[in-house]
Structure 1
Amino acid sequence: MTPSPLRFGVIGFGAWGKCHAGAIHNTAGAEVAAIAAKSENTCAEGRQLYPDAAVYSDYRQLLDQADIDVVHVVVPSYLHFDIAKSVLESGKHLLLEKPMCLTISECQALNQLAQEKQLQLAVGHELRLSSLWSRVKQEIDSGAIGEPQYALVELSRKPYRLGADGWRYDIDRVGNWILEEPIHFFDLARWYLSSAGKPTSLYATANSRQAGHPELQDNFSAIVNFDGGKYAVVSQSLSMFEHHQTAKVAGTEGSLWASWSGAMDRTRHPSFFLKASNGETVREIPIEKITGEIFELEDQVAMLIDAIQNGKPLSATAEDGMWSVGMCLAAQKSVDTGQPIKMTDII
C-alpha cells in the first residue's frame, strides 16, 4: 500500500522559502500543509499559492499543528538555532537550511536533541544531490582519478541579495559572509577529499570593495589542509556577474573538471559540463538530468521522505552541517588574525 503523503510545514516564506515550498509541492509523496510567514503580505501570498495549507504569522502556531510531519526552516541565519530547537522539541523531523547554526555549540545541541528525540535532522547542503556535483563524487569513489590529492571549488557571481530587512548585509544577523555561500563549497571540498579524513587546518584571506565595511567580504579564498599533504582551495568573488561555479579535482591517476553557469543561481536553463582525463585523453561525461539549486531542492525533499519512511541515509547530516560551520568559523578567524587555524581549536 502506498504510504500517505508526508505533511510539510515551511517556516520562512521569503524568496528561498517559496522555492522550498515549490519543491515540496512538486515532489511525489509530499504536500505543503502549513506555512509560517513574517508579514501579512507574505501570509497572503502563501494563502494564494497554497490554498489548502494553514498559514500562520507565528511559527509556534505551525508547530502546534499536530498533523505536521516535517518542517523546513528557511529563515535568516541568526534565527536558525531557536526555531530549529523548537521544531525538534515539538517532535517533528527537520530540514534546516545552511548554515546549520552560527556556533559549534548550537550545532552540537541540535544534533544531541535530534538524537534524543529520534528525529531526522537534515542540513540544506543540496549540492550533494546535484546530478553534476554528485557525479564528481561518484567518479572519485569509483577510482577514476586514483587517490584524490587536490580539490578546487570556486564561484564568481553578482552581489548577494539584501534579504528581508537587509539582514544579509548586517553582520550581527548573518554571522559572517563565509557562512552564506562559501559554506556550500567547504562542504563539497570536504566531501570530495573524504578519503583523506577530517580537515586539519585552514588559512584564509579576504577583502571588501565596500568602503567602511571590511566585514562584508566580496572576495574570499581559503586553503584547507588534510593529512598526507592533500588540500583544497575554496574561493569566491561577489564582484563579478551572473553565477558561475567550478569544481576541479586532481588525483594520482587523472583529474575531473565540472562547471555550471547561469544568469543567476536559480535559473532553470543553465549550461554545465563534466570532463575527466587520465592524463592522455579527455572524455566528457554526460549529465542527463538538469542541475541547479532549485532542482536539487526537490531531490532533497525526496531524500528526506526516503530517510523518514525507509531509513535511508541523509545526504547531509547534522555532523556534516557542523563541520561546514566549523570550517567557515575557522576561515573567518584566519581572515581576522592573518594566521592559519587548527581545526581542533574550532571543533
Structure 2
Amino acid sequence: MTTSPVRFGVIGFGAWGKCHAGAINKTEGAEVAAIAAKSEGTCSEARELYPSASVYSDYHQLLAQDDIEVVHVVIPSYLHFEVAKAVLESGKHLLLEKPMCLTIADCQALNQLAQEKNLLLAVGHELRLSSLWSRVKQEIDAGAIGEPQYALVELSRKPYRLGADGWRYDIDRVGNWILEEPIHFFDLARWYLSSAGKPTSLFATANSRQVGHPELQDNFSAIVNFEDGKYAVVSQSLSMFEHHQTAKVAGTEGSLWASWSGAMDRTRHPSFFLKASNGETVREIPIEKITGEIFELEDQVAMLLEAIRGGKPLATSAEDGMWSVAMCLAAQKSVESGQPVAMSDIL
C-alpha cells in the first residue's frame, strides 16, 4: 500500500527558509505544498522553484489550507511566538526554528497549547541529528568515556549574515545575540551532560569588536554548572574566518574530540572527524555519513515524518527548546551583571 506524502508548509522564504524547503523537497515521503513569503520578489521566486505549491504573501492563508499537516516556521526570532501560536491554533504540527521564543513565558505558552491540541512541536536544534555530533552522544551513552564530567563546545567563524532587512543586527528583533548561534551549543552541552541532571547556574562574559555596539557580542564565553561539580564551557567568536566547530567531552575513563570545518556553515564539502581516547590509546571513529547543517535539515524532515507517521519521539522537544532559551537568557543576564546567575532565577 502506498502512503501519500506528508504535505508541508513553509512560512519564511529567506536564505534559510529556502534551505528548509529544499530539504523537504529532497526527502522521500515529504512534499512542499505551500509557501508564505514576505515580498512579491520572494513569492515569485517560490512560484518558480516550487510550481506545484501554493504561494501566499499572508501566512494566514497558508494556515487555512486544510491539506497541510506540518509547518516549518523560518522567520526572524521576534515573530516566532505570534506565528507559531497561529500554526498550532490551526491544528497543524510545527517545526519552529531556534530560538523557540524570546521569553520563557512564550515558550511555556506554546508548549501548553501543543499539548492541549495534541500536536507535535519540534524545535530546530538540528545538530542533534548530525552524524558527527549525535555520534558523540552515542559514545557517551555507550560508556566510552565513563561518567562525563566536562564538555567544551566552541565555534569560530566569520560574522553573521545580516538577515532580511538587517534584522539579525537589530537587537530589538534578535532579543540577544546569544540566542542566535550559541543557543545550539548550549543545547549540545546540556545533552552531552544530561546524566548530570539539569544545569544549576551559569556565568558568562562577552565583548564586541564594533565600537558603540556592545550588544552585538562578537566574542562570547560561558561556564554552565551542573550538580556534583560537572560543568560545560560554551564559547564563540564571530571575529574569525570560515566556520570551525569543536566539541570535546572528558569523562572518568576517557575523552572524545569532534571537529567540523568548512569555508562556510552551509558548505556541502566540509572536513570533520571524531576521535576517542581511553587515556592510553587514541582511535578515530569513522563518520560515514556527511554532516553539516544543510544535511541535518534533511534529517530533521525525516525525523518529523517518523514522528507523524510512526509515533517516534522528536529529537528536540519543546521542553528542550525552552531550556536552550533559558540558558541564553541566563547568559545575557550574567554578561550584563558580571555575576553568576542561578537557573532557578530564569525557570
**Which band: TM-score by shorter chain?**
over 0.9
| Cα distance between partner residues in 2 of 1:240 and 1:314 | 34
**What is the number of equivalent residue pairs in this alignment?**
347
The TM-score normalised by the length of structure 1 is 1.00
Helix, strand or coil: the match of 2:140?
Answer: helix
SS at match of 2:253: coil
Alignment of 1:1-347 (within 5 A): 1-347=1-347
What secondary structure does 1:186 align onto? helix
Find the residue that maps to 2:264 and give its secondary structure: coil
Aligned structure 1 segments of 4 or more residues deviating by more than 6 angstroms: none
SS at match of 1:221: strand
Cα distance in 2, alignment partners of residues 342 and 57 from structure 1: 43
Alpha-carbon distance in structure 2 between the residues aligned to 1:2 and 1:90: 27
Q: TM-score, normalised by structure 2?
A: 1.00
In the TM superposition, residue 63 of structure 1 has moved relative to its aligned partner by 0.3
In structure 1, runs of 5+ residues without a counterpart are: none
Q: For residues 328 and 116 of structure 2, what CA distance do their matches in structure 1 show? A: 27
**1:106 positional shift:** 0.2
Partners of 2:212 and 2:166 lie apart in 1 by 17
Q: Displacement of 1:2 after TM fit?
A: 3.0
Looking at structure 2, the residues matched to 107 and 168 of structure 1 have their Cα atoms a distance apart, in angstroms, of: 21
Deviation sequence 1:70-92 (CA, Å, 0-9, x none): 00000000000000000000000
| In structure 2, C-alpha distance between the alignment counterparts of 1:2 and 1:88, rounded to whole Å | 28
Distance 2:299 2:114 in 1: 22
Residue-by-residue CA offset, 1:105-159 (whole Å, 9 max, x unaligned): 0000000000000000000000000000000000000000000000000000000
Opposite residue 344 of structure 1, the aligned amino acid is: S
Residue type of the alignment partner of 2:101: C
SS in 1 for 2:28: coil
Identity %: 88
Q: Secondary structure at the match of 1:325?
A: helix
Q: Residue 99 of structure 1 aligns to a residue in which SS?
A: coil
In structure 1, what is the Cα distance between the partners aligned to 2:270 and 2:96? 26
CA distance, structure 2, for counterparts of residue 32 and residue 304 of structure 1 = 14
